[in-house]
Every structure is written in C-alpha cells, then in structure tokens.
C-alpha cells in the first residue's frame, strides 16, 4: 500500500548536463540553484537577488534583455545605505558607487548568461506586490522602508499572464533556444494570513497553468504540490514551520531530476555530486603529506571528469579556481 499521494510529474523535458540554466525568483530558486551547482551544472542564480512577485521577476528578465546597466540615478538612500528597488538588500552599500558596482557586475554577467542559456527556471513566491505610493511602480524589495511608502495589492491573474506572455514573446525572439520551466514556491507567506497565502498561491498556479498551455517550450514543475502532498508532514519543515527542511528540498530536487533531466544528465549529475563532496572536503589533519595526498586525489578526479565531460572546465575553474586544479 502507498501511504502518501504521489504527484504526477511533467513529461517531455530533457535538461542536459552541459546546458546553461538561469534561475530567477524566490529563495526556493536559491535552494534548487545551490543543488544544481553542487552537481556542476552551469547556473546563474538570481542576478538581482531574491525576488518574490511575478511583476518584479518579469521586470528583471526584461531589463536583462535591454542590456542597459544601472545608473546612480536609479539608486536611493535610506537608513545610511544606498539601495535599488529592483534588487535584494544584499546589493545595498553605504557607498553609492560601490552599490552600483556590485549591481552592474552581476547584471552584466546575467545579460551574457541569459543570452546563451538553454533553460530559464522561474519560481513565483507570492502574488502580493508592494507598489510605490508616489509612482505606482512595483518594488522588488522594500528595504525596510515605512509601510506608508507603499500600497500592497494582490496582482490579478490576468495581469500576471499578460505581463509574462509579452515578456516570454520578447525572450523567445531574443534567445530562440531557451525553454522555460515555471514553479511555485512551497514556502508559505503567513504574513498574508493562512487564507491570504492560499489566495496568493492559487493566483500563481492559475496564471502559470495558462502560460504553460500557451507554447510547448513553457512548462510547469509541481514543487508546490510535492511539498504540500507528498511531504504532508511538519517533520519536513525547518524550525520556523514555514520553510521546507534541507531533507524536503533534497527530495524536491530528486523529483526535479526525475522529471526534467535526461537520463545522461542524471548519471553525470550523480558523478559530479560525488566529486563536489571530495573537492569540498577539508582534512582534519594539518600534516602536509595528508593535505598533499587529498589535493592530488582531487586533481586526478578533476582530470578524470574533464576527460568525460570537457565542458566542465569553466565550471570547475569558477567554483574551485585555477590554482587548485591547474587546469
């Protein structure tokens, strides 16, 4: 007997191990992106930082396609720090030029990455958005400014669909090889209230359902349903009882691999995960002979990987540096 509800997975997806993947959206994107990175996929995760609502994520995609770096005029000062409403607070700095430098460094890398990416994974977190009271523009991050600076509203399903259909049409013209996978974060936004959270998630699910029926290259992965149904137990949550635990995220990643990776990509990912653990290991002993032996073992494993997967050269250098492998 099966004592849980098994969620049906999408069919027809075949992400290859050598295909670049950009991830945008909520902190669930960060979690999945980190696991893809451990499997040595070439990924770019949230070049604007974590974004939650569909309007801000769509705006980020459009800005990347414009290839228009940010200017100082687009930053504002609050609380002794310079911020951007388009970016997460991790880009904020006390020095205006430093904040701009951080923003544009990630931005320029994101532009180049999206242009050659083969997959875009978008995770919607909430359908609620905070709009600036003076302009009506949607803020990607409020940076702890007073509530009086914003008005909060639930984005209508129709607005989300129309916005993203236009964005995806431009994106497909800009990068015809790109395919999109949408998902809804299983992280509940209980600040909206239990009922408000359900309204929000339902709005996102309905919007994505319409988007995924629009074109064959747009798909949906049921991360939300997997956590809500297959993992319907608080033991799969972190201490705050809101965020999924590491075990839960690992399970969702397994189901994502099952649904979205090609068979060869799954095999390559498993081998690369073993290498990542080896390369990340730090010996307990400071004995030079022990350190040297581990270093040599790691180098030989890297060379072995490169013989089978030469496309990993860039990823290995990016993660571990030239000095470690001399490759």
pLDDT in tens, 76-105: 999 999 999 999 999 999 999 999 999 999
- DSSP annotation string for 209-228: HHHHTT-TTEEE--HHHIII
Of residues 45, 154, 145, the one with CA closest to residue 89: 145
Same-domain check for residues 229 and 295: no
Beta bridge partners of 320: none
Q: Is the pLDDT of residue 322 over 90?
A: no
| Contact by Cβ (8 Å): 204, 127 | yes
- Which residues of the chain form beta strands (DSSP E)? 21-25, 43-45, 76-78, 81-83, 119-124, 128-132, 138-139, 150-154, 179-184, 218-220
Same-domain check for residues 257 and 299: no
Which band of pLDDT confidence, cut at 50, 70 and 90, is reported for residue 52?
Answer: very high
Residues 9-31, mean pLDDT to the nearest whole number: 96
Q: Does any domain span residue 274?
A: no
pLDDT of 129 reads 97
Structurally, how many domains does the chain consist of?
2
Same-domain check for residues 312 and 258: no
Q: Is the pLDDT of residue 191 over 60?
A: yes
Same-domain check for residues 257 and 287: no
pLDDT of 294 reads 85
DSSP strand pairing (179-184 vs 119-124)? parallel
Same-domain check for residues 257 and 312: no
Q: Does any domain span residue 8?
A: no
Of residues 178, 170, 179, 165, the one with CA closest to residue 65: 170
Domain termination residue (choose one: 263, 289, 305): 263
Q: How many helices (H) and strands (E) does the chain have?
A: 11, 10
Of residues 142, 164, 160, the one with CA closest to residue 151: 142
Instruction: At 261, give phi and psi (nearest 5°).
Output: -90, 145
User: Helix, strand or coil for residue 82?
Assistant: strand
Same-domain check for residues 316 and 250: no
| Contact by Cβ (8 Å): 92, 139 | no
* Cα–Cα distance measured from residue 177 to residue 179, given in angstroms and rounded to the nearest whole number: 7
Distances from the Cα of 14 to the Cαs of 117, 241, 249, 262, 311, in angstroms?
15, 34, 21, 4, 18
* Cα–Cα distance measured from residue 249 to residue 210, given in angstroms and rounded to the nearest whole number: 26
Same-domain check for residues 253 and 216: yes
| Contact by Cβ (8 Å): 23, 46 | yes
Same-domain check for residues 158 and 289: no
Q: Does any domain span residue 136?
A: yes
Same-domain check for residues 178 and 119: yes
Q: Does any domain span residue 220?
A: yes
Q: Does any domain span residue 233?
A: yes
Share of the chain above pLDDT 70, in %: 97
Residues 221-242, mean pLDDT to the nearest whole number: 92
pLDDT of 109 reads 97
* Cα–Cα distance measured from residue 201 to residue 186, given in angstroms and rounded to the nearest whole number: 9
pLDDT of 325 reads 56
Q: Does any domain span residue 149?
A: yes
Q: Is the pLDDT of residue 112 over 50?
A: yes
CATH number at residue 98: 3.40.50.1110
Same-domain check for residues 153 and 293: no
* Cα–Cα distance measured from residue 160 to residue 204, given in angstroms and rounded to the nearest whole number: 8
Residues 116-142, mean pLDDT to the nearest whole number: 97
Beta bridge partners of 83: 76
Q: Does any domain span residue 317?
A: yes
Same-domain check for residues 135 and 188: yes
Same-domain check for residues 169 and 259: yes
Q: Does any domain span residue 257?
A: yes
Its domain, for residue 166, covers 21-263
Q: Is the pLDDT of residue 326 over 70?
A: no
């Amino acid at each position: 007997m099966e004592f849980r509800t098994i969620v049906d997975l999408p069919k027809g997806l075949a992400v290859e191990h050598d295909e670049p993947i950009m991830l945008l959206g909520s902190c669930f994107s960060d979690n999945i992106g980190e696991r893809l990175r451990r499997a040595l996929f070439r990924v770019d995760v949230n070049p604007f930082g974590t974004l939650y609502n569909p309007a801000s994520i769509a705006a980020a995609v459009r800005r990347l396609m414009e290839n228009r770096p940010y200017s100082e005029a687009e930053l504002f000062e609050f609380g002794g720090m310079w911020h951007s409403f388009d970016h997460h607070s991790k880009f904020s700095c006390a020095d205006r030029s430093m904040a701009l430098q951080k923003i544009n460094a990630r931005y320029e890398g994101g532009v180049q990455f999206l242009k050659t990416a083969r997959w875009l994974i978008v995770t919607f977190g909430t359908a609620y958005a905070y709009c600036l009271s003076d302009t009506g523009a949607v803020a990607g991050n409020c940076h702890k400014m007073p509530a009086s600076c914003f008005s909060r509203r639930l984005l209508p399903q129709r607005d989300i669909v129309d916005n993203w259909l236009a964005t995806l049409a431009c994106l497909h013209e800009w990068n015809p090889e790109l395919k999109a996978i949408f998902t809804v974060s299983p992280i509940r936004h209980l600040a909206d209230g239990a009922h408000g959270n359900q309204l929000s998630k339902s709005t996102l699910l309905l919007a994505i359902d319409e988007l995924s029926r629009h074109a064959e290259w747009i798909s949906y992965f049921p991360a939300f349903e997997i956590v809500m149904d297959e993992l319907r137990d608080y033991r799969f949550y972190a201490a705050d009882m809101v965020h999924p635990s590491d075990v839960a995220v690992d399970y969702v990643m397994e189901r994502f691999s099952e649904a979205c990776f090609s068979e060869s990509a799954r095999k390559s990912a498993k081998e690369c995960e073993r290498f990542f653990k080896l390369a990340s290991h730090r010996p307990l002993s400071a004995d030079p002979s022990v350190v040297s032996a581990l270093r040599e073992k790691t180098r030989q494993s890297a060379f072995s990987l490169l013989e089978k997967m030469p496309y990993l050269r860039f990823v290995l250098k990016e993660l571990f540096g030239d000095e470690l492998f001399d490759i």
